Amino acid sequence: MDNPDYVIVGGGINGLVAASVLGKNGQKVLVVDRNNRVGGCLRTEEITAPGFLHDVMATTLVLFLTSPAYGAIGKDLEARGFAVAHSHLPTGVLRPDGSHVLFSRDRKRNIATFDACAPGDGATFAKEMDRMGADAPFLFSLLSGRLWSRSMAMTIAREAWKRGPRALLAWFGEALKPSRNYLEATYASEAVHALWAPWGLHCGLNPESAYSAQMIKVIAFAVELAGCPIAVGGVNSLIGAFERLIGDQGGQIRSGADVEKVLLDAGGRAIGVKLSSGETIMAGKGVICSVTPSQLYSRLLRESAQPPEIAAALRRYRHGKGDMQIHYALDAPPHWNGGEELGKVALLHVTPGLDGVSRAANEAERGLLPAEPTICVGQPTALDPSRAPDGKAILWLQLPETPRFLKGDAAEQIATPADGQWTPVVREAYADRVEALFSRHIKDFKNLVIARKTYSPADLESMNVNLVGGDPYGGYCGLDQFFVWRPFASSINHRTYVPGLYHIGASTHPGPGLGGGSGFLLASALK
């Protein structure tokens, strides 16, 4: 492409959203990605056996379907082949004794379910969701808006006028609660605690983390509203729709194009990029990088004189826990001992409960393989049978509390290397532990398995350089590295110290997930 307005480095969800929105606004955009495909953590492959289509990393699209980005370009994507499949049972929890709680998209059923766990918990849940609905306009403007802007200042001022300054401060104080405190003080049933406790992990937060309560309330609200949908045919269908949309708008995508550095003019303004092949690509208006801070500042800007506060912030920037994926090709859909409905749940967490999640997360934080990890079991073929040959099935497992570097095994059964690195032997031994924990709830599971494919945190990083140590969230999501402090305390929206250079991706506000939030916010602000 000759003289694009913007060059976007990185073709993950945020880069693709930014390119689509910019193109819709009449901008000429070129997306370059170092891998042989775009999509970032969105990729569908036959990794176990022919005909079995697995979303290798990310799969659930609830954040995308409920995002401002989808509101802007969703119809365009649907017109180019993107569609989703739903289950009326988006989530649930299964405990070691076989007891379980299933959560539906039906409010009346959820109230009855919670009341069966403990009288009064149903009414409490309804009240909490009604409060969330009332707060949604303000809350979602904070979670997905431009924090440093006149419009955000006006939003907060209006809320202070409506509630009163003291009440607004009390609201913020409530929003900072850890999920453990919230769940134990709000619901009488430990089964309800067990249902929601694992969801904080999907935000990179432990039950004792600040603001984790607010995030599980947001998730409960979103999941009841929109479920846990997946892309029909795999997330590659979403990527294909993005590619067609960007092309139809006059944009271009180049894969296998590794950017070596951002080019600056004599005045220090970003004017393009240089590829590792030696090719240079000039940008008329700016360069947008969807990468981690280390990739941006230590690699792409390594020849630039960086302000001392940036260098210091980069040294302090830290990544969270790793992630692990296990995929199964099955000869038939799993027959859960607890009943037929368990086989219809989109995302089922297998865990002892709140204390079990807390314990496993703490072990992973300390570099230990959790003795009893929280297991997220996705059942894509229950929603979309096209993911496997007729009569067959797949399972998608995620372990959101996995150590990036190994210091030992909490169960003292698996020997870990002295250098702390993941090896195939450790990976498969740990996968065996996971399989033993969840498969006891499935009739004759071993005889169902056609093939298993496992990815350790190190494997995930080898596929995507932004997954540092297998961290899928672009950096630790604790309060000091989130909201106005993401990625750095000095960060202002998606600007950098280099004029014409912008930073998006999971490492920037509004953080990780498949909402495409940072790409949408920046693209909407650029002219």
The DSSP-derived string for 431-483 is HHHHHHHHHTTBTTHHHHEEEEEEE-HHHHHHH-TTSGGG-TTSS--SGGGSG
For residue 182, give the nearest of 195, 193, 168 by alpha carbon. Answer: 193
Share the mean pLDDT of the chain. 96
Between CA 202 and CA 323 the distance in angstroms is: 10
> Could you check whether the bond before residue 293 is cis, i.e. omega within 30 degrees of 0?
no
DSSP conformational letter for 336: B
The pLDDT of residue 3 is: 87
pLDDT level of residue 143 (50, 70, 90 thresholds): confident
455 bridge partner residues: 325
Containing H/E element for 85? Answer: strand 84-85
What is the pLDDT averaged over residues 327-334?
98
Please list, in sequence order, all residues whose beta carbon lies within 8 angstroms of the beta carbon of residue 181, skipping any fewer than 6 positions away.
213
pLDDT level of residue 2 (50, 70, 90 thresholds): confident
Between CA 322 and CA 258 the distance in angstroms is: 25
Q: CATH 3.50.50.60 residue ranges in the chain?
A: 6-42+233-317+473-525
Between CA 105 and CA 228 the distance in angstroms is: 10
Could you give the percent of the chain with pLDDT greater than 90?
Answer: 98
The alpha-helical segments, DSSP class H, found in 48-163 are 62-65, 68-78, 107-117, 121-144, 150-163
DSSP conformational letter for 298: I
The pLDDT of residue 144 is: 85
DSSP conformational letter for 3: S
Rounded to whole angstroms, what are the CA distances from 16 to 29, 88, 93, 241?
10, 29, 34, 10
Rounded to whole angstroms, what are the CA distances from 23 to 33, 119, 236, 242, 271?
18, 53, 21, 11, 19
Between CA 132 and CA 221 the distance in angstroms is: 7
pLDDT for 1 beyond 80: no
What is the pLDDT averaged over residues 495-517?
96
The pLDDT of residue 527 is: 73
Between CA 260 and CA 281 the distance in angstroms is: 11
Between CA 93 and CA 191 the distance in angstroms is: 8
> Could you check whether the bond before residue 487 is cis, i.e. omega within 30 degrees of 0?
yes
Beta 252-254 vs 230-231: how paired, if at all?
A: unpaired
Between CA 101 and CA 91 the distance in angstroms is: 9
Between CA 355 and CA 190 the distance in angstroms is: 10
Beta 29-32 vs 6-9: how paired, if at all?
A: parallel
The token duo for 463 is 């596929």
- Count Cα neighbours of 252 within 13 Å in the Cβ-side half-sphere: 13
Contact 451, 393 (CB under 8 A): no
User: What digits encode the pLDDT tens for the residues 39-97?
Assistant: 999 999 999 999 999 999 999 999 999 999 999 999 999 999 999 999 999 999 999 99
Q: How many CB atoms lie within 10 A of CB 386?
A: 14
What is the pLDDT averaged over residues 316-340?
97
Window from 134-148, 292-306, 341-355 with minimum mean pLDDT: 134-148
The correct answer on CATH 3.40.50.300 for the domain covering 6-42+233-317+473-525 is no
Phi and psi, residue 480, nearest 5°? -70, -10
- Count Cα neighbours of 171 within 13 Å in the Cβ-side half-sphere: 18
Please list, in sequence order, all residues whose beta carbon lies within 8 angstroms of the beta carbon of residue 278, skipping any fewer than 6 positions away.
none
pLDDT level of residue 475 (50, 70, 90 thresholds): very high
pLDDT for 375 beyond 90: yes
Could you give the percent of the chain with pLDDT greater than 70?
Answer: 100
The DSSP result for 492-527, as a single string, is -TTB-SSTTEEEESTTSTT-SSSS-HHHHHHHHH--
CA-based angle 221:222:226, to the nearest 5? Answer: 125
For residue 249, give the nearest of 525, 1, 508 by alpha carbon. Answer: 1
Containing H/E element for 224? Answer: helix 212-226
